[in-house]
Chains A and B, each alone.
Chain A
Amino acid sequence: MTELVVKNVQKWLGGLQILKGASFTADRGSIVALLGASGSGKTTLLRCIAGLEQPEIGHIRIGDKVAMDSDKRILLPPEQRNIGLVFQSYALWPHRTVKENVGYGLKLRGVNKADMDRRIQHILERLGLGHLADRYPSQLSGGQQQRVAICRALVYEPRVLLLDEPLSNLDAKLREEARYWIRKLILDLEICAILVTHDQTEALAAADHILLLQNGRIVQEGTPHEIYSNPTSFYAADFLGANNIARGKLLSMDGDVARIGGEGWELDGVVRERQGLSPSVDAQAVIRVERITIGDAPGPNRLEMQLDDSVYLGDRWEYRVRRGDFAVKANGNRRLPGGKVYAEFPPESVWVFPAAQG
C-alpha cells in the first residue's frame, strides 16, 4: 500500500534551485533511502515531506491526505501531516523526561492517561529503554538518546517515519547494530520509512529501495542490488563502492560492447551510458576494486602491469599496480612481490562512460 507520494517537488533558495523535480513513492513496510553527497538536496527533500520547508512547486501525499499541492494551493503545516521525524541530533527536549518526550505526541492527540502510559511503556520496553523512563535526556548515552528519539517518532503510529541521518552520531560498531535493528523494527511494525543518508553502506544494508540524488535530482533509483551492480551514470557508478577510474579514448563501440584505451593499455568493457559516446572521443571506465584479480601469467582480458606495492589492510592486501598512466587498486589475500604481474579485467565489469564534461 502506497503511503507516500512525492511528485515533481521543486524548491528554490533565493535564486538557486536546490530541488529540481523529485518524484517517488514509498510503500508500507518498506524503507526508501535518499542517498547522496552533501548538497545533493536529500535532507531538503525530507524536510519538504515533513513540512519544515516549503517547496514552491510539487505535490506530496501522505497516507490519504494531500499534504502539499502547488496547483491546488494546499500546504499543510507539519503538525497536520501525521509523520514522525527522527533528527540527526535526536532533538530530545532537555526539560522533559524520556517518558514525557515519548508521550508528547500522544498527549497532543488526546490519548487518555492510562492508554498513554501503556503505549509509552510498550514502545520503551520494545527498544530496551523500559528502565530509563524517568531519566532526562542528558542522563542517557548517545545510543539511548537515539532510541528515545525513534520511540518518540513512532509511538503515535505515524503514516510515514522520516529518519534524517539517524546513525551518523553513533560510533562505528553501534552503527552497524542500529542499522540492523532499525530495519527489523520498521519491517515488524509495517510502517513506511524514509531514510536520509550519505553513507552508501547504510543505504545498501537498510533500505529496500534507494534513490540516488545529485544536485537536487534523483539520478537513479532501484533496489540496493540494482543500484550497486547496474549504475546508469558515471556519478552513480562512482558514488557507490570502491572504484578505479580509467581515463582514455573510446577505441571501438559495437552495441553495448566497447573498447577503451590509453597510452600502452586497452580494455574491453560494456557501455553504461551511451550519450556522448562515439569512437575516438574521450571516455572513462569505472572498475570496482573487488572485480580485478591479479595473476602471475598472461590470459584473456589480462593486462601485463607493474606492481608497485602491496599494502596490508588487516583483512586483506591492497595491490597498487600500474601501466604507464593507468594505475589501479586491487585486492588479494596475500603479499605479492613487486614486479611484473597480470591484472584481469572481466569485460562485464569495465563500465564505460563518456568523459566528464569540461
Chain B
Amino acid sequence: MSMNATEIARGLAQVERGDPPPKIASPIDARWYRNIAIGLLAIAVLAPVGLIVYQSFLDGPFFSPRSSVSLEAYRYVLTDPTFWIALRTTTIFAFGMVFVAVPLGGILAFLLTRTDIRFKRTLEILVLVPMFISSIVLAFGYTVSVGPSGFLTIWFRELFGGVPWNLYSLPGIILIAGLSHVPHVYLYVSAAMRNLPSDLEEAARTSGASIWQVSRDVTLPMVLPALIFAAALNLLLGFETFGIPLVLGDPNGILVLTTYIYKLTTLFGVPTYQLMAVVAMVLILITLPLVFFQRRLLRNSRRYAALGGKGARATPLKLGGNGQVIALTGIAIWLLVSVALPIGGISVRAFVSAWGQGIDLLDYVTLANFDRLLEVPSLSRGIVNTLLLSVVGGAAAVFIYLLVGLAGHRNHGTSNTVLDYIVLLPRALPGLVIGLAFFWVFLFVPFLTPLRPTLVALFIAYMVVGLSYGLRLLQGTLIQVSPELEEAARTSGATIGRTWRDIVIPIVRPGLAGAWALIMIIFLREYATGVYLMGAGTEVIGSLMVTLLQTGAMDTIAALAFISIIMTAAGLTLALRLGAKIHD
C-alpha cells in the first residue's frame, strides 16, 4: 500500500468534513457533444427572448439607427387604459377557463379510469380530439355554427324566435375555451389516476369506507397534485390563447393581451415593435412563474407516482344503468358542443355558397370555395407548405429533439440543468410572440437574413414552439431504456456514441415514429407562430386564416379550415397506427 501522509491527511479531512474530494474529469463521456448540442439549443431559445427584452427598452424598432434606449414604450403601454382592460380580461378569461375545464376534466378522468363506463376504448381517444384541432379552426367553427348568423342560431331562431346565447361575449368565449381545454386536464388527471395503486383504495374499502368515501378521502387527495398541475397548465394556456379571443372576441372589441399585441399594428398603421415587446414582456412575467410553479409540481407529482405499487387495476366502480346513461349523456353533450358543433359547422360552411333564414342549404351546395384555393397561388402554397412543415419538418424536429434528448440523457453535469431551464422558456411564450421574435431574429442577424423568406425560418420557430412537448416525448422514450442495457454495451467495449447508435436508438425507434406523428399534428394545428413570420412563398394554413379574418373572406377560411381538419384527422390516424403514446 503506497499511501503517503498528505494523502491520508487529505482523506481524513474529507471524512471529517463529509465532503467528497473532487472527481477526476472523465476523459470521454460525450461532454463536448452535450455542451455543443445544449449550447446551440440555448442560442435558438435565448436569441429571440433576448431580442424581445432588448426591443422593449427601445423607443423605436431595434434596426432603426434613430432608436435609443428608453422606458417610453413601457410608459405608453402601462398608461394605456386599453392595455389594462386587456390584462383584466385576460385574467378573467384564464381563471374562467380553469374554472370550466378543471372540474369537467377531473370528472371525465374519473369516469374513464375508475368506473365501468361503456365504450371506454373509443371514448379514450374521442375525448382528446378537441386538443388536436387548432383553436383558430375551432373558433371559426363556432362562429359559423352558433355565431349571430350561424347555422344553428338561424335554425333555432326560426323555431323559437330568438336565441338564449351570445357567442361573442366574454362568458361565451370563456365557456368555449374552457370546454376545448377539458382534454388537457383529462390527460394529466387520468394519468395520475391510472398510476394510483389500487391497494391504497382497497385498504380504505376494507377499513369500511364506501366507494364514494374512498373517492373523496383517498383518490381525490392522491390526484390533487395532478389537478393543481392541470389548473396551472390551463391558466398558462389561458394567458397565451390567441385564436379563440381573436375570432370570437374581436367583433365586440373584447381584447386579451395576445390580441392586444396583434391589434397594436392595426391601431398605429405601422408595426410598433417596442410596444409589442413590452406587452410580450408583461406576458412573460406572468407566465414564467407559472411555468416554474408547474415544474415544481411535476417533481412532486412524480414523487407521488413513484409510490405506486403494482399495475393491478382497482375493481372499477359500477355505474349502474342510470349512472351509465347520465355519464354517457354528459360526455356526449360535451363532445357535441366541443367537437361536433365546430367541425360540423365548418363541414357545412365549406360546401355552401349562401345560408340564412328560409334558405334550403341543399340548393346552395357548391365546391366553389375550394376552387379559390387552387386559383390563388398563396392559398395552394399554404396547403403545400403546411404539409411540408408538418410532415418533413416534424420528422426533422423529432431528429433535433432526439439529438437534444441524447445530450441530456443520463447527463449529470451542469449542462443538464441549463437544458432543464432552456426548455421551460418557450412554454412561457405564446406562439404569436415566438413567431414575432424569430421574425426579428431573421431580420437582425445578417447571415440569417437570406433564410427569412424560406420555410427554414418557420421551421426553426416551430421547432422552438414544440420544444418542451417534443423533448418530453423523447425523454420519456429514452428513459425507458434500462441503464443496464447501456452499461452492458459500455463494458463490452462501446463508446458512449456507439452505445447510443447501436443500443439506445434502435430500442427507442418505435417511440420515435409515434413522436413524429404527434409533432406532425402539433405543427399542423399551429397558427399563431406564422402570423408575423410567414411571407410570400412561406404561407401556412393556420396563419393564412388569421390574416384572412381581417378581410372577411369567410368562404376561403371555411375551405382552409376544412382542409386543416382533414389533415389533422389523417395525422391522428397515423399517430394511432404508429402506436403513439397520446396518453403520456
Residue positions of A touching B, CB distance < 8 A: 7-8, 10-12, 14-17, 21, 23, 50-52, 54, 56-57, 68, 70-71, 73-79, 81-85, 87, 89, 91-95, 104-105, 108-109, 152-153, 156, 162
State whether A54 touches B23 (Cβ < 8 A): yes
State which of A12, A16, A93, A156 has its C-beta within 8 Å of the C-beta of B493: A156
Interface residues as binary, B461-497 with A (CB distance below 8 Å gives 1, 0 otherwise): 0000000000000000000001011011111111110
Residues of B within 8 A of A162 (CB): 491
**Are B492 and A105 in touch, CB under 8 angstroms?**
yes
B484 close to A104 (CB less than 8 A): no
Can you identify 18 A-B contacts, CB atoms within 8 angstroms? A7-B2, A10-B11, A15-B19, A15-B20, A56-B20, A56-B24, A57-B11, A75-B24, A77-B26, A77-B496, A79-B498, A84-B492, A85-B487, A87-B484, A91-B484, A91-B485, A91-B487, A104-B494
A74 to B26 CA separation, bound complex (whole angstroms): 8
A68 to B193, CA, bound (A): 48
Nearest chain A CB to B293's CB is how many angstroms away?
27
| B360 at interface, CB cutoff 8 A | no
Nearest-Cβ distance from residue B28 to partner chain A, whole angstroms: 5
Please name all residues of chain B whose beta carbon is closer than 8 Å to the beta carbon of A78 when the two chains form the complex.
487, 490-491
A105 to B489, CA, bound (A): 8
| Any A CB within 8 A of the CB of B25 | yes
Q: How far is the CA of A92 from the CA of B3 in the complex (A)?
A: 40
Interface residues of B in 414-469 (CB under 8 A from A): none
**Chain B residues whose CB sits within 8 angstroms of the CB of A12 once the complex forms:** 14, 19-21
Contacts of A16 in B (CB 8 A): 18
A178 to B507, CA, bound (A): 30
Whether the Cβ atoms of B27 and A77 lie closer than 8 Å is: yes
> Which B residues touch A85, using CB under 8 A?
487-488, 491
Q: Is the CB of B29 within 8 A of A93?
A: no
Q: A8-B1, A75-B25 are in contact. Are A52 and B493 (CB under 8 A)?
A: no
Chain A residues within an 8 Å CB radius of B2: 7
In angstroms, how far is the closest chain A Cβ from the Cβ of B200? Answer: 27
On whether the beta carbons of B482 and A76 are closer than 8 Å, the reply is no
Q: How far is the CA of A95 from the CA of B506 in the complex (A)?
A: 7
Specify which chain A residues have a CB less than 8 angstroms from the CB of B495 in the assembled complex. 77, 79
Question: Which of B20, B484, B491, B498 lies at the interface centre, i.e. has the most chain A CB atoms within 10 A of its CB?
Answer: B491
Nearest-neighbour CB distance to chain A for B483, whole angstroms, equals 9
Chain B residue with Cβ nearest A52? B487
Pick the contact of B27: A7, A76, A95, A108 (CB < 8 A): A76
CB B565 to nearest CB in A, in angstroms, measures 38
A152 and B25 in contact (CB under 8 A), knowing A71-B7, A91-B487, A95-B506? no
Is there contact, CB below 8 Å, between A91 and B493?
Answer: no
* Structural contact, B494 and A23, CB atoms closer than 8 A: no
- A94: which B residues are within 8 A, CB to CB? 485, 507
B311 within 8 A of A: no
In the complex, whether B502 has a CB less than 8 A from a CB of chain A is yes
**Would A8 and B488 count as touching, CB distance under 8 A?**
no
Task: Tell me, in angstroms, the Cα distance from A84 to B491 when the chains sit together.
Answer: 6
B27 to chain A, nearest CB (A): 6
CB atoms of A108 and B498 under 8 A apart:
yes
How many Å lie between the Cα of A93 and that of B501 in the bound state? 13
Contact between B491 and A83 (Cβ–Cβ < 8 Å)? yes
Please tell me if B582 contacts chain A, counting CB pairs below 8 Å.
Answer: no
With most chain B CB atoms within 10 A of its CB, the pick from A15, A16, A108, A109 is A108
Docked CA distance A10–B8 (Å) = 12
Decide if B222 is an interface residue (CB 8 Å cutoff). Answer: no
- B506 contact set on A, CB distance < 8 A: 95
Chain B nearest CB from A286 CB (Å) reads 30
| B328 close to A (CB within 8 Å) | no
**Beyond A15-B18, A77-B28, A85-B488, 14 additional pairs, beta carbon < 8 A:** A56-B21, A68-B24, A73-B24, A74-B24, A75-B26, A77-B27, A81-B491, A92-B488, A93-B485, A93-B489, A93-B503, A94-B485, A104-B494, A108-B498
The answer to whether A109 touches B485, judged by C-beta atoms less than 8 angstroms apart, is no
Any chain A CB within 8 A of the CB of B22? yes
The one of B15, B484, B493 that contacts A108, using a Cβ cutoff of 8 Å: B493
Pair B493/A79 contact, Cβ less than 8 Å: yes
> What chain B residues lie within 8 Å of A56 (beta carbons)?
14, 20-24
Within 8 Å by CB of B489, from A51, A57, A104, lies A104
CA distance A105 to B491 in the complex (A): 9
Bound together, the chains give a CA A16 to CA B7 distance in angstroms of 19
Chain A residue nearest to B23 (CB atoms) is: A54
A50 touching B492 in the complex, CB below 8 Å, given contacts A91-B484, A104-B502: no
Cβ proximity bits B256-283 to A, threshold 8 Å, 1 near / 0 not: 0000000000000000000000000000
On chain B, the residues within 8 Å of A76 by CB distance are 27
- Pair B494/A108 contact, Cβ less than 8 Å: yes
| Contact for A17 among B15, B27, B29, CB less than 8 A | B15
Q: Given A10-B11, A15-B19, are A52 and B491 neighbors across the interface (CB < 8 Å)?
A: yes
Please measure, in the bound complex, the distance between the C-alpha atom of A77 and the C-alpha atom of B28, giving whole angstroms: 7
Q: With A and B bound together, what is the CA distance between A17 and B15 in angstroms?
A: 8
**Which residue from chain A places its CB closest to the CB of B509 in the assembled complex?**
A95
Instruction: List B contacts of A52 (CB < 8 A).
Output: 487, 490-491
Q: Is the CB of A75 within 8 A of B492?
A: no
